[in-house]
């Protein structure tokens, strides 16, 4: 029986002592093992994982390590469980937790800051200065599940209460896994970018963050919203999600096209989600003077930048590392209000025991996969039953 001191459980949501979890061995090596179910501490709960989406960053973690950092180094052969875009059911409460009840459906943010460093005190908990400093005798309370602490490719995970967002019963498990992606786009536009209604936005790169970036920008009242990319079917999804215009950059010069579509002028914001080496220069030329660019993807090699153009035009540049400032809560509110249909980016579903296949679909974009969601067999069976009854 799972009964750690001070932790509350409920027979309605049974918690075993051991669970199945995927752990990272050598690079590209994932093993399904038995692990003890983790124990929530103060201000933490145990989440029973019901579904989890695969992110491009998971692929980076599994193949090369960063941005995951375990015990001050790479995450390999440390019994570490990756995966960060999950949702599930609250299964146990840590000491003193009364903000959630066992049985609540929740989706998660990734980062719980330490709460005591300068950035956390500013509310920038995703930029916590104690990132990853929880090993040996050091416990800073920082968590970035799937990066510096165990993540969601497992039956259970521990989350700080500040990383949980309650979801209603009419949001599907699959849609709930997409909330944090929408929250990341929203953080870039509003909290970091200061977007207000009526301003013009370009999104470069129709990956998950870019597509939901177009959707969130439109929901926030941006006008026009222009999406650029290389694949027509993804651009079409962008139109369905709310982009006013799309530009296929294999057929048109993106800078000229953006200026033409925006009445001959540069735009107020560019969100760069492609990671293409020259994208930062193109973004600079799409912007009007004093415009802002959010860098949400990274080229694997250093990029050559036309600094003079940025300086002469008072361009603001900022990076974004995941979600922040509770933007995820607001993104969830938009999704609950059906302001956009995030499930349009969900293309494939696999069971948890097929995780390696699911990762391959995401990495190789098999059948043009965008978001691949992995579900628990138990959960899938429950939903089949409900549909049948
Ligand atoms: Zn992610
Ligand atoms: Zn901190």
What's the rounded Cα separation, in Å, for the pair 341 and 178?
A: 10
Supply φ then ψ for residue 334, to 5 degrees: -60, -45
Ligand 2 centroid distance, CA of 39 (Å): 22
CB 19, CB 156: distance < 8 Å? yes
Task: Assess whether 194 and 100 both reside in one domain.
Answer: no
Q: Is 258 within a domain?
A: yes
User: Is 386 or 163 the better-scoring residue by pLDDT?
Assistant: 163
Task: Assess whether 169 and 186 both reside in one domain.
Answer: no
**Please, what sign has the CA dihedral across residues 364, 365, 366, 371?**
positive
Q: Is 125 within a domain?
A: no
Where in the sequence is the domain holding 300, given as residue range(s)?
Answer: 182-319
Alpha helices (runs of H) in 122-262, residue ranges in sequence order: 173-176, 179-186, 208-219, 232-241, 254-261
Q: What percent of the chain has pLDDT over 70?
A: 100
Please enumerate in sequence order all residues whose Cβ is within 8 A of that of 17, keeping only pairs 6 or more positions apart, or say none. 1, 2, 36, 37
- CA of 127, nearest ligand number: 2
**337 CB-contact burial (10 Å; exposed 0-12 / middle 13-18 / buried 19+):** exposed
Residues in the chain: 389
* pTM of structure: 0.94
Ligand 1 centroid distance, CA of 102 (Å): 26
Ligand 2 centroid distance, CA of 125 (Å): 6
The count of structural domains within the chain is 2
Q: Is 292 within a domain?
A: yes
Q: What is the CATH number of the domain that holds 166?
A: 3.90.180.10
Task: Assess whether 187 and 290 both reside in one domain.
Answer: yes
Which residues make up the environment of ion ligand 2, defined by Cβ < 5 Å?
Answer: 113-114, 117, 120, 128, 130
Condensed to tens digits (0 to 9), the pLDDT of residues 38-74 reads 999 999 999 999 999 999 999 999 999 999 999 989 9
**240 CB-contact burial (10 Å; exposed 0-12 / middle 13-18 / buried 19+):** middle
Condensed to tens digits (0 to 9), the pLDDT of residues 219-238 reads 999 999 999 999 999 999 99
Task: Assess whether 47 and 92 both reside in one domain.
Answer: yes
Ligand 1 centroid distance, CA of 84 (Å): 6
Ligand 2 centroid distance, CA of 107 (Å): 22
Condensed to tens digits (0 to 9), the pLDDT of residues 114-129 reads 999 999 999 999 999 9
Question: Where does a domain end: 319, 350, 374?
Answer: 319
Ligand 2 centroid distance, CA of 155 (Å): 28
What's the rounded Cα separation, in Å, for the pair 297 and 188?
A: 12
Task: Assess whether 248 and 196 both reside in one domain.
Answer: yes
Question: Where does a domain end: 319, 349, 375?
Answer: 319
């Amino acid at each position: 029986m799972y009964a750690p001191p001070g932790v509350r459980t409920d027979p309605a949501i049974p918690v075993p002592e051991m669970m199945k979890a995927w752990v990272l061995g050598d690079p590209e090596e994932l093993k399904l093992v038995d692990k003890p179910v983790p124990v929530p501490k103060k201000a933490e709960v145990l989440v029973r994982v019901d579904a989890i989406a695969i992110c491009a960053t998971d692929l980076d973690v599994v193949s090369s390590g960063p941005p995951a950092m375990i015990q001050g180094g790479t995450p390999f052969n440390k019994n570490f469980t990756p995966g960060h875009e999950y949702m599930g059911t609250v299964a146990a409460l840590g000491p003193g937790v009364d903000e959630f009840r066992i049985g609540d459906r929740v989706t998660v943010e990734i980062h719980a800051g330490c709460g005591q460093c300068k950035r956390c005190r500013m509310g920038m908990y995703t930029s916590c200065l104690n990132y990853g400093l929880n090993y040996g005798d050091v416990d800073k309370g920082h968590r970035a599940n799937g990066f510096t602490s165990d993540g969601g490719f497992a039956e259970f995970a521990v989350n700080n209460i500040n990383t949980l967002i309650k979801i209603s019963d009419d949001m599907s498990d699959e849609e709930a896994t997409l909330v944090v992606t929408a929250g990341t786009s929203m953080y870039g536009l509003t909290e970091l970018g200061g977007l207000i209604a009526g301003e013009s936005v370009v999104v470069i790169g129709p990956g998950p963050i870019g597509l939901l970036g177009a959707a969130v920008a439109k929901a926030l009242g941006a006008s026009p919203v222009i999406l650029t990319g290389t694949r027509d079917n993804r651009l079409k999804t962008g139109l369905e999600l709310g982009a006013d215009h799309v530009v296929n950059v294999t057929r048109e010069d993106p800078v000229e096209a953006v200026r033409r579509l925006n009445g001959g002028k540069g735009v107020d914001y560019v969100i760069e989600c492609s990671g293409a080496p020259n994208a930062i220069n193109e973004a600079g030329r799409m912007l009007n003077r004093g415009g802002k660019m959010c860098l949400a993807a990274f080229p694997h090699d250093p990029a050559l930048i036309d600094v003079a153009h940025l300086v002469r035009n008072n361009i603001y540049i900022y990076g974004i590392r995941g979600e922040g400032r509770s933007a995820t809560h607001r993104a969830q509110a938009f999704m609950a209000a059906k302001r956009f249909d995030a499930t349009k980016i969900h293309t494939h579903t696999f069971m948890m025991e097929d995780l390696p296949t699911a990762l391959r679909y995401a990495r190789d974009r098999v059948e043009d996969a965008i978001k691949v969601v992995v579900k628990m067999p138990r959960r899938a069976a429950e939903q089949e039953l409900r549909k049948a009854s």
